Amino acid sequence: MVSSIPVSGSLETQLQQEFCQSSAIALSLFQRAIALVPDLEIDPVTHEVIGTPIADALGWQFTRFGLQARANQTAAIFVQESNEVWQAKIFGGESGKRSGSYLAPKGIGNRAYLPPVDPETRSQLGAPAEGSFWDWVESTPSIPIVPTEGGKKSLSALSAGSVAIALYGCDCGNSPDLTRFLVPGREVIIAFDQDAKAKTRARVNRSIARLARRAIAAGCSVRIALWDPALGKGLDDLIAAHGVEQWQQVLAAAPSFEQWQRRRISGAILQKLRFPLGNYQPTLQVSVPDLSTSVALENIPQTGIVGMISGKGTGKTKLLTRLVDCLERVLAPGHRESLQRGLGRRLGLDYLHDTDRAEGRKLGGNGEPTYRLSLCWDSLLAIPLKDYPAGSYDLVIDEADQGFRHLINGGTCGKRGMRPALIAKAEALIKGARRVLLASADLTSLELDYVSALRNEQPWILQNNYREDGYCCQFLTDIPGQTGSRNRARGAALAQLIEAIGRGDRLWIAVDTLKASKALFQLAIALGVPEKKILRFDGDTSSDPAQRCFADAPARWISQNKPQLVIASPSLTSGVSIELDYFNLVFGFFEGQSIAPWDVDQALSRVRQPVPRIVFAVAHGKSQGISAAQNALTYQADLYRRTELLSWFSGNRSLLDQVDFHSPSARYHAASSAERNAAMAEFGLSLRLRLEQAGNFVSLTTADPENPNLQSALELWKAATQQVRQADAAAIARAEAIDEETAIALRQKRVLTLSDRHKLSRYDLCQFYGINPDKLCLEDILMDANGRQRRQVEAWEFLVWSKLAQVKDKQKLDKLIQWQQPIPAQDLPGAQLLTTGAEILGVRELLAFLIQTTQSGNYWTKDSPEIKSFVDRCQAHPKEVKLCLNLTIRPSMQPTAIVGMVLKHFGLKTVMKRDGGTRKTRIRTRYYQLDMASLQQLKTLLQTRAKHYQAEGFQMRTHPLTLLLLEGVADGQAISTSQQQILEAHPLNHTLSQLKEAS
């Protein structure tokens, strides 16, 4: 039992004043919930110590005599309704100083504060006079609860008429004591402190989000109480200073968690847009339309790091030309061939692959040896370091943000395991340069950090704040959670595009996918636009003569050819701008699949004239990479965890020592990937705020579902996409059949024509599926779905063929190791992660169960034991599921959704039927089977390809899944049929605990 023990009268008065006046706690509630005790209880007659109340309450071992005399202490103990001690506030001496220490009993764990509530407060809250107050709250979901941090705050809120539950701090939202109150239908209003410090506020916001998601997953609705920190840090400060009415206004105005989250995300996005340089300060700031005529060369350093951040079309390239005009040695690497060829021409450099060679030296366009070169990062190994001694050259990196992302994160620089060598060469050139010139409209602290870390020096930064006149932009996006809103928004943009084409407007159309580029081309043809009046610039056409001429001199090409439509994908580089006053409208269709919002901003600004823009952008894009983390440290941790898993699964324990986690390039990869993930997660919002911040006039438009043109536009779009699919397949079917020698020769070419790519696609299809080239038909190509089915079949093969994943991974690792450089973690292979991760998580057992159930004519439901067992494993280990299988498990996902996601990963479809439900409940049960057609097609493919693996000496895995899939092929092979034997061989908990110990 905890009860008050007499303390000094003056001290008791001061403590009562602190709680009841400074924190606005009702006196009756204070007297019921707070016990005041001294550190020593003294017998009034004998004056002997008869108790140590503070030590007893906190579970301390009391030491009476120490080396120094100890001041007397008093504690205000927060008592639970159960009469246990929740927390004590310790005051030293008899001064009653307000700044006491809060301490919880030893070993108590993460407990919530559920105090005894006095009759007056019960009456105010409408609670029964007798019985447990908190049992009443638990049994009444209509009562909102207010989680807050600190016992005084919860007592203050209770005194003000709100049922508040205190946590030890904002990070304690996972307290098990909250579980009983988080039930469907209850409203939860989170009222944590309103901290002024940005770092603390960020930590509190993360804690709010965690608790909110926990409550939402339990079926609660969540709002977030917000107020001006100037009114008081905690809710008790707010109530004490401004009254209960102000607190009630705060509660009434509390936004939903979704609204709060949007505001928070918007604030974070705007912070990055307004301060892209982070902690760096510009050395020179200007606001001029043309840097090249406004900045004197003598003001720019001749050595070191020079950063230039300036908007599009403000003369950055012209200034760079002046800076390197008379230098003997200049290198300008970048991320796209057409960009670097054009940049080289403007800077007076020769493009690397346009040079000739004589006696080991490169010859420029004038026939003389040249050391002034532009090139792609991918070609960096062709540059001998001996030709560029340290301090003898300038390194020009235009569009530095895109260039470094391409070098360190991009797919093409990772081909054939070349990235370790490319990064090593790039960093050697950065370190050795006399001067490194970094230029971009979107230059950020990430690029400056990377180069500064390599050169160990601080940058000189020129920032141009000039902004051109903005354009009017109609912005269409989907509404998250509203079914069909994405399609309606896309349809509304397409309907306006169709009207503009009908009027004969000259249109620039920016897209972010090859698929959209092709579909819009087909749509325009269907609407009667002559093919010669359309310029399509994408991955399939960028090497064609017309497209090359356009990229080299866009104004001249447009003036000569007068196109009605230009369709531009990301293949059109950021160095191309249209200064000509020619286009009436700019459209944008962005599916969030490839380029980030900053690249979309560039794409919409290709046309410099402020003509109106009509933009469709999805609300949420797709993260690309190993982890979906939006924080650099979390992303790094995921990379390390993935490498650790691969090291453990492969038995190569030395792998962790070979992989680069801490170099400047590794830090840049983690930071830039996390930044991109954050932008893609809120793709539509990030893009809209970026356009607004650039000075454009953006109006958010909602599609009218009653618009008759909307549906017809979507039907035309669907027809166009189907035509593209058919036309692509027909082009592959018509391509010339080639042999292995020709295929090898084509793969070694630096640039492939569309015809070459079709030949290789035809060859690869025939090789994979074992089809006679003369018998390849359209159905085979359509079935392959642009390689998706091949990837799914390979995933199955890793599950049924022993050692196949190890062999594939070793081939990739050998290519990375050959350079004798640290291995970038992002380039590590993942076949063994898939195989062993699937084994540990029970994927093979699940698939075997589903196939066996279907073949026996039975069904499964979400409540089938095998389904529940698998789902429980996935939900217990979502991080491992993401790293091994690249599947995202969310707490709110239904069992059938998780199983469906796994089946989609492996290319299987399901069929579903429902019963009529019971007459009493009318709850209908859903029953599932695998689609027999897709299952049979898969088995046929696996059995056909089995001969290839048997010929190469691979052995089938001893598992029931093998027998189910490779009937006939696996006959006579000893296959274990006991699921328990498999589980015992790879016990999940044991394996994961070993991994935990290893890490």
* Model pLDDT for residues 11-55, shown as the tens digit of each residue: 778 888 888 888 999 999 998 998 888 777 666 666 666 667 777
Encoded amino acid at 517, one letter:
S
pTM score, two decimals?
0.84
CATH number of 119-273: 3.40.1360.10
Q: 970: which DSSP letter?
A: S
Predicted local confidence at residue 60, as pLDDT: 74
Listed by start position, the domains of the chain span 11-103, 119-273, 284-464, 472-624+677-711, 801-998
- What token pair was written down for 826? 């992002």
For residues 298 and 57, the model is more confident at: 298
The DSSP string of 716-784 is HHHHHHHHHHHHHHHHHHHSPP--HHHHHHHHT-SS--HHHHHHHHHHHHHHHHT--GGG--HHHHHHH
Predicted local confidence at residue 985, as pLDDT: 38
Q: Across residues 291-307, what is the average pLDDT? A: 93
For residues 846 and 13, the model is more confident at: 846
Share of the chain above pLDDT 70, in %: 92
- What token pair was written down for 232? 């008081």
Bridge pairing between strands 460-464 and 284-286: parallel
CATH number of 472-624+677-711: 3.40.50.300
Predicted local confidence at residue 235, as pLDDT: 93
- The mean of the pLDDT values for the chain is 88
Q: What is the dihedral of CA 77, 81, 85, 87, to 10 degrees?
A: -60
CATH fold of the domain at 284-464: Rossmann fold (3.40.50)
Confidence of residue 991 (pLDDT cuts 50, 70, 90): very low
Topology alike, domains 284-464 and 472-624+677-711: yes
Predicted local confidence at residue 338, as pLDDT: 78
Residue 90 has pLDDT above 80, yes or no: yes
Cα separation, 490 vs 603, whole angstroms:
18
Encoded amino acid at 108, one letter:
I
Cα separation, 839 vs 454, whole angstroms:
42
The string of pLDDT tens digits covering residues 500-541 is: 999 999 999 999 999 999 999 999 999 999 999 999 999 888
The string of pLDDT tens digits covering residues 442-462 is: 999 999 999 999 999 999 999
Cα separation, 367 vs 344, whole angstroms:
16
Confidence of residue 917 (pLDDT cuts 50, 70, 90): low
